[in-house]
A = this chain, B = another copy of it.
């Protein structure tokens, strides 16, 4: 058996997300099926994590195994020929059998794009959240430290499935930067992992702070409450990009 790591970029606009939700077209099954069509045997394609409906990716990572000897470059070409143009395979690399797209990840980087100017370029409409309320970005910047470090993020996550067993809600947010971008800001998040809707919920809270709907000083008590109802605002999916998944060692080390 040989394991392969693939890096994927996609425009999430037309998809139900990485994985099947309510029988709509999802990205993971499309890629899995394309690999199976080329290799002519069933495979299991495992992603680094799900992205929600409408969320985009520049560097989603997934792995699969095959007993066949394949040429990575050729597989990439064949996959891109089969897949729709809004899903592109950026790289195919051999990986060690220990490599796991999800469990080997040491950190993930997400960016959230917020447009604040009155007019949003039509070419950005599917990729930036147009936030029209008056904002004081200094309030947002002052509130960032409340989110950094190791915390129980229960108040900033939603349950993907009501009946599912709850995962450990403690995550470490290494970095949360607010970068000036043309007409708005880009929020850059890096953590050891992210809970369901965590980036969008933190972004929603930060924009509520910037627009004076809530105060930054309320964040510690919202964390302490461990209750999603305490921070209700969730930013929409289309401003969110999974940028990169980081791994401890190069995936092709054995």
Contact = CB atoms under 8 A, between A and B. Distances in A.
B77 A122 contact: no
B121 A88 contact: yes
A11 B123 contact: yes
Contacts of A123: 9, 11, 56, 127
A121 B7 CA distance: 12
A80 B121 CA distance: 11
Interface centre among A56, A88, A118 (most CB of B within 10 A): A88
B85 A125 contact: yes
Contacts of A120: 85, 88
Contacts of A88: 119-122
Contacts of A121: 9, 88
A122 B85 contact: yes
Interface in A113-139: 118-123, 125, 127
A10 interface: yes
Contacts of A177: none
A98 interface: no
B9 A86 contact: no
A84 to B, nearest CB: 9
16 contacts: A9-B121, A11-B122, A11-B123, A11-B125, A56-B123, A76-B119, A77-B118, A80-B118, A85-B120, A85-B125, A86-B125, A88-B120, A88-B121, A88-B122, A89-B119, A90-B119
